[in-house]
Amino acid sequence: MVRGGGRAAVLVLCTLCAGVAQSCGRDEMRPAPRELRINLETEPPSLDWSLATDGISIIAIQQLMRGLTRLSRDLRPEPDLAERWSVSADGRTYTFALRPGVVWSDGEPLRAQQFVDSWLRLLAPETAAEYAYFLFPLKNARAFNAGTITDPGAVGVRARDDATLEVELEAPLVYFPALVNFMVTFPQRRELIERYGERWTEPPNLVTLGPFTLEEWRHEYRLVLRANPRYWAGRPALDRITAYMVEEDSTALVLFEQGLLDLVKLPPLEIRRYRERPEYLRQPLLRGYYYGFDLRTPPFDDARVRRAFAHAIDRAEFPPLLQGGEQPWPSWIPPGMPHANPQLGLAFDPERARALLREAGVDPATLAPVRIVFNSDQTHKLVAEKVQAMWREHLGVRVELENREWKVFLKELATNPPPVFRLGWGADFPDPDNFMNLFTSYSENNHTGFANPHYDALVLRAASEVDPATRQSLYDEAQRILCEQDVPIVPLFVTASNFAVARRVHGFVPSPMDLYFFDRVSAE
């Protein structure tokens, strides 16, 4: 140590040079064939499909598991784990015949009881699943979730035998087969969940039956999925998917351009540069972006104030800002979804906004700064700063911005919602009910505290209404309450996904429901 200080330095330098020289060959960085590397952007909050509610977790879950049906390119339900199904004459009872020969990754066969176990777990009050309301169309499901009925046998789902699942609904639901494509209805292995407790989703405990299995989960860094040779539809074309969690958009993009990532979401600022390139892929989505108020916190407990803030937003500013194919949309049911109505919603009207504030007795000068909370992302930050400027300019209100990690943001929404928050909603199934029942009083995904019995009744009625004209008027009335009168939310625009896809990847086609199916993807 005392002696060759200079020599040590030379040695270090030489090692570095050797490393750099070696890297000029770059063989290690070339991907293996049939291997896909994507960017998941952030840590998935949960891989438990009864508890997960977000788009990041779904990306992983969708490769690991499947459900009774899946949706075709034009969003019609097709057989998946259910080979066929039939419905009774009164439309209330569905019978699903399970596909024979489907096995879990540990070799156990698929049984109808595993669906029953999963659905009951979703509805059980102890699970505290936010998506419990998703299965409220089932007979007695609501009562069971509320605890008024304690016998799980009373809930309208049972396994007639190992291969037959019988479902009984409260009222006929035309889109029910589409509903069961969604992850919360995927089957579960009750005995494994009981054995492993909270760690049942960690590898190697997790047992699944989809095209891929979970090989590794290095938290905050990457997930590794492996092809499942036992998948009923045949082994997928990819051997391995590595989902990294790179939060910095610019780092992810540089990695993509270096050939270390094959699929990244393009941040708004990069879209302009990528639009003409072959790697660019845009997919319009059935996905709405809204700002929600917490109705329990003043001044947002007054509907006039909420309407004022809504009138002070000029939606036309968002498309040039975000460049991602966003379409301003003042009502809630998105275009492309049946019964959408572009005429509804509150338009940009700063005069009206200020008048409403005066009427409500709110003085912007003395009002405490309004907090907008959003999850860390370039898009949300841009939108928040834009809204902050608009509210300051048109209302004279001071606004403070706070950001959170996605996982924590979701938790905060559930336990202690901020006065103003940003959120999106993508369709779980292609029917307006999925969008409208979000804001019913019994929906756990409703973080606004909005509870309007008339709205609830309208949505409930519309769900089982068969006549399209009646359905349209029911939804119009409900949307008027949601977007013009009570305004617990301000819908801003509908989004599109913008990707950069490496040329070695083929067959990547995201659906308008923002679902990815990597079993149909191949890579050179």
Partner 1 sequence: MIRYAAGRVLAGVPVLWVVATLTFALLRFLPGGPFDKEKTLPPEILRNLERRYALDGTLAEQYADYLGRLVRGDLGPSYKYVGRDVSDILADALPVSVELGLLALAIALGGGIALGLAAGTRRDSALDRIVGIATLVGVSAPSFVIGAGLILGVGLELDWLPAGLWEGPRYAILPALTLAALPLAYIAQLTRAQVITVMHQDYVRTARAKGVPEGRVRRHHVLRNALLAVLTYFGPLLAILLTGSFVVEKIYAIPGLGRFFVTAVTNRDYPLVLGVTLVYAALVVAANLAVDLLYAWLDPRIRVGGAER
Partner 2 sequence: MTTSRATAALGALVIAGLVGLALAGDRVAGYRFDAQDSAHALESPSRAHWLGTDALGRDQLARLAEGARVSLLIAIGATTLALAIGLGYGLLAGWLGGRVDGAMMRAVDVVYALPDVLVIVLLIEILQATLLGVPDVARRVAALVAALGFVGWIGIARLVRALVLQAREETWVEAARALGLRDRRILLRHVLPNIAGPILVAAAFQIPAAILAESTLSFIGLGIQPPFSSWGTLASDGFEAMRSYPHLIFFPCLAILLALIGFHLLGETLRASLDPRRRA
Measured CA to CA, the distance from residue 417 to residue 292 in angstroms comes to 10
Q: Which of 159, 321, 367, 496 binds partner 2 (CB under 8 A)?
A: 321
Amino acid at 98: L
Residues within window 26-85 making contact with partner 1, judged by CB under 8 A: 26, 28-29, 46
Q: Which does 128 bind (CB under 5 to 8 A by kind): partner 1, partner 2, none?
A: partner 1
Of 382, 274, 376, whose CA–CA distance to 319 is shortest? 382
Bridge partners, 212 (sequence order)? 227
**Choice between 241 and 370, CB closer to partner 2:** 370
Q: Which does 160 bind (CB under 5 to 8 A by kind): partner 1, partner 2, none?
A: none
- Tell me: does residue 250 bind partner 2 (CB under 8 A): yes
Q: Which of 320, 343, 365, 469 binds partner 2 (CB under 8 A)?
A: 320
Choose the binding region for partner 2 from 140-148, 158-166, 189-197, 251-259 (rule: CB under 8 A).
251-259
**What sign has the CA pseudo-torsion 119, 120, 126, 130?**
positive
CA angle 202, 203, 208 (to 5 degrees): 95
- Tell me: does residue 148 bind partner 1 (CB under 8 A): no
Q: Which of 198, 276, 351, 467 binds partner 1 (CB under 8 A)?
A: 198
Residues within window 401-440 making contact with partner 1, judged by CB under 8 A: 404-405, 407-408, 411, 414-416
Q: Which does 267 bind (CB under 5 to 8 A by kind): partner 1, partner 2, none?
A: partner 2
Choose the binding region for partner 1 from 13-21, 59-67, 351-359, 385-393 (rule: CB under 8 A).
13-21
Q: Which does 382 bind (CB under 5 to 8 A by kind): partner 2, partner 1, none?
A: partner 2
- Tell me: does residue 297 bind partner 2 (CB under 8 A): no
Tokens, residue 288: 């709405």
**Choice between 92 and 121, CB closer to partner 1:** 121
**Choice between 236 and 268, CB closer to partner 2:** 268
CB 313, min distance to partner 2, A: 14
Measured CA to CA, the distance from residue 444 to residue 51 in angstroms comes to 11
Of 478, 491, 466, whose CA–CA distance to 436 is shortest? 478
465 Cβ contact partners less than 8 Å away, ≥ 6 residues apart: 471, 474
Measured CA to CA, the distance from residue 478 to residue 484 in angstroms comes to 10
Q: Which does 266 bind (CB under 5 to 8 A by kind): partner 2, partner 1, none?
A: none
**Choice between 93 and 403, CB closer to partner 2:** 403
Q: Which of 248, 301, 363, 524 binds partner 2 (CB under 8 A)?
A: 248
179 Cβ contact partners less than 8 Å away, ≥ 6 residues apart: 134, 137, 173, 185, 428, 429, 431
- Tell me: does residue 143 bind partner 2 (CB under 8 A): no
- Tell me: does residue 16 bind partner 1 (CB under 8 A): yes
Greatest CA span in the chain, whole angstroms? 93
Q: Which does 466 bind (CB under 5 to 8 A by kind): partner 1, partner 2, none?
A: none
Measured CA to CA, the distance from residue 84 to residue 79 in angstroms comes to 6
Choose the binding region for partner 2 from 92-100, 115-123, 133-141, 247-255 (rule: CB under 8 A).
247-255
- Tell me: does residue 247 bind partner 1 (CB under 8 A): yes
CA angle 331, 335, 339 (to 5 degrees): 75
Tokens, residue 161: 């035998």
E strand spans, 132-275: 157-161, 164-168, 212-218, 222-227, 240-244, 263-265
Residues within window 394-433 making contact with partner 2, judged by CB under 8 A: 398, 400-403
CB distance 200 to 192 below 8 Å = yes
**Choice between 386 and 504, CB closer to partner 2:** 386
157 Cβ contact partners less than 8 Å away, ≥ 6 residues apart: 115, 116, 119, 120, 138, 165, 166, 167, 168
- Tell me: does residue 245 bind partner 1 (CB under 8 A): yes
Q: Which helix (H) or strand (E) holds 98?
A: strand 93-98
Q: Which does 385 bind (CB under 5 to 8 A by kind): partner 2, partner 1, none?
A: partner 2
Tokens, residue 276: 């003409």
CB 507, min distance to partner 1, A: 25
* DSSP H helical ranges for 42-82: 55-64
Residues within window 115-134 making contact with partner 1, judged by CB under 8 A: 126, 128
Q: Which does 281 bind (CB under 5 to 8 A by kind): partner 2, partner 1, none?
A: none
Measured CA to CA, the distance from residue 272 to residue 498 in angstroms comes to 11
**Choice between 7 and 73, CB closer to partner 1:** 7
**Choice between 228 and 440, CB closer to partner 1:** 440
Measured CA to CA, the distance from residue 85 to residue 384 in angstroms comes to 46
CA–CA distances in Å: residue 76 to residues 32, 288, 334, 510: 35, 21, 18, 15
Backbone angles phi, psi at 11, to 5 degrees: -60, -45
**Choice between 13 and 254, CB closer to partner 2:** 254
Measured CA to CA, the distance from residue 158 to residue 98 in angstroms comes to 13
Residues that bind partner 1 (CB under 8 A): 1-3, 5-6, 8-13, 16, 19-20, 22-24, 26, 28-29, 46, 126, 128, 197-199, 202, 218-221, 244-248, 250-252, 254-255, 257-258, 260, 404-405, 407-408, 411, 414-416
Residues that bind partner 2 (CB under 8 A): 248-250, 253-254, 257, 267-270, 272-273, 317, 320-321, 369, 376, 378, 381-382, 384-386, 388-389, 398, 400-403
